[in-house]
Amino acid sequence: MTDTAPIDPYAALQDKEPPKAPRSQWKDVWDQFKHHKGALFGGGFLIFITLAVLVGPWVWQVDPQKLDIRNKDLRPIYTAIWDSTAAVRWGNPLGTDNLGRDILANLIAGGRASMAVGWAAMVLALLIGTAVGVVSGYFKKADFWLMRFTDLVLSLPILPLLLVAVTLFRQPLRANFGPEGGMFILIVGVIGLTSWMQTARIVRGDILALKEREFILAARSIGTTSGSIILRHLLPNVISPIMVSATLGLATAIITESALSFLGVGFPSDFPTWGKLLADSVQRMEQYPERVILPGLLISLTVLGVNYLGDGLRDALDPRIRGR
């Protein structure tokens, strides 16, 4: 005999546990993020570029510094489609420069330098900017002097400052860290130290508004220390502006590094970066447009990808926007 369970009227009115397991916060973030087409494209492209510059040298095993004077000034392979007389060679799919160096290998090597400088300078600027912004927003006493200092740095003309810094510190850093390492530290340092001000101002403004909110008062009333209020309550709430300035910062850092290389005060002459590849090819831009277009395109696409990624992350990290 089978007994059918009688329906308990009281239990029927009780709340049931949700059928699905509670979702983790990061799954929510991912769900929102994947609805943002631009962010998916941007993130995908950034991962692709990063992998390409990291793994590329093992896949395309051509020394970017190797001179091959007999095969100089080759055009990219696709030029043959419309110009049957163009000098092309399968061994150099994107052509070679005026000294016969392979352009594909140079783009990969240059991407490494540009991305490394961009990320490092962005992280440095972000750390300084967030620290200054949080301290001056939260601690009233520090606010005046920190913000005047920010205004001071903001009013300095950046490019001349960079040139002076490079001239002053190039030799000692070179002596200590080698020509490339020293230059890397110098460029990351000057870009980081001169681009944190926007982040600081944005973060300060948000902190000023947030710290008067009642949930901060509630945290203070149970005796939470300033440090943990900042870490647990304030920073998660200013993550959106920080994300946005991070992406802008990465883009600016890559562009500033390119500008420095373009002006000839960047890395040593045998060390390729996207900016330097661009600068070296400008004189013969009319005959060989691809040598300007290719690095320029990489810079633009990377910056664009990073900006879209930041946009999508900002939306995904905000629980109030999520689910729209």
Partner 1 sequence: MSLVSVRNLTRIFDVSKPWLNRVIERRPRALLTAVSDVSFEIEERTVYALVGESGSGKSTIGKMLVGLLAPSDGVVDIRGVDLSRETDAEKVDAVRADIQMIFQDPFASLNPRWRVRDIIVEPVAARGGETAGLAERLLEQVGLSARDAGKFPHEFSGGQRQRICIARALASEPKLIVCDEPTSALDVSVQAQVLNLMSDLKDEFGLTYLFISHDLTVVQHMADRIGVLYLGRLVEEAAPSELFENPKHPYTQMLLAAAPKLDGFGREVAPPTGEIPDPINPPPGCAYNPRCPLAQAVCREERPVLRNVGGARVACHMVD
Q: How far apart are CA 115 and CA 45, in angstroms?
A: 13
Residue 106 in contact with residue 271, Cβ under 8 Å? no
Tell me which stretch binds partner 1 (CB under 8 A): 13-21, 75-83, 114-122, 145-153: 13-21
Half-sphere exposure of residue 241: CA atoms within 13 angstroms, side-chain side: 19
**157 binding partner 1? (CB under 8 A):** no
Indicate the residue among 70 and 320 with the shorter CB distance to partner 1. Answer: 320
C-alpha distances (whole Å) from 263 to each of 85, 99, 282, 311 are: 35, 21, 12, 31
**208 binding partner 1? (CB under 8 A):** no
Q: Which residues contact 102 (CB under 8 A, 6 or more apart)?
A: 62, 64, 66, 68, 92, 94, 96
**29 binding partner 1? (CB under 8 A):** no
* In the complex, minimum distance from the CB of residue 220 to partner 1, in angstroms, rounded to a whole number: 6
**1 binding partner 1? (CB under 8 A):** no
**15 binding partner 1? (CB under 8 A):** yes
Q: Which of 25, 167, 269, 300 binds partner 1 (CB under 8 A)?
A: 25
**Helix 103-138 and helix 158-193: axis angle, to 10°?**
80
Q: String of b and e for 160-186 (b: at least 16 CB within 10 Å)?
A: eebeebbeebbeebbeeeeeeebbbbb
**19 binding partner 1? (CB under 8 A):** no
Phi/psi at 168 (5° precision): -70, -45
**215 binding partner 1? (CB under 8 A):** yes
Using alpha carbons, select from 188, 178, 198 the residue that is nearest to residue 114. Answer: 188
**112 binding partner 1? (CB under 8 A):** no
Indicate the residue among 172 and 236 with the shorter CB distance to partner 1. Answer: 236
Q: Which of 3, 8, 214, 286 binds partner 1 (CB under 8 A)?
A: 214
* In the complex, minimum distance from the CB of residue 203 to partner 1, in angstroms, rounded to a whole number: 15
Indicate the residue among 147 and 173 with the shorter CB distance to partner 1. Answer: 147
**227 binding partner 1? (CB under 8 A):** no
Q: Which of 80, 218, 231, 297 binds partner 1 (CB under 8 A)?
A: 218
**50 binding partner 1? (CB under 8 A):** no
Q: Which of 51, 67, 159, 217 binds partner 1 (CB under 8 A)?
A: 217
Question: What is the footprint of partner 1 within residues 119-138 (CB under 8 A)?
Answer: none
Indicate the residue among 8 and 212 with the shorter CB distance to partner 1. Answer: 212
Q: Which of 153, 237, 284, 311 binds partner 1 (CB under 8 A)?
A: 237
Tell me which stretch binds partner 1 (CB under 8 A): 12-20, 44-52, 185-193, 246-254: 12-20
Residue 159 in contact with residue 225, Cβ under 8 Å? no
Site size with partner 1, rule: CB under 8 A: 23
Half-sphere exposure of residue 155: CA atoms within 13 angstroms, side-chain side: 6
Intra-chain end-to-end CA distance of the chain, in Å: 52
**26 binding partner 1? (CB under 8 A):** no
| Max CA separation in the chain (angstroms) | 95
Half-sphere exposure of residue 275: CA atoms within 13 angstroms, side-chain side: 23
Residues that bind partner 1 (CB under 8 A): 15, 17-18, 22-23, 25, 213-215, 217-224, 228, 233, 236-237, 319-320
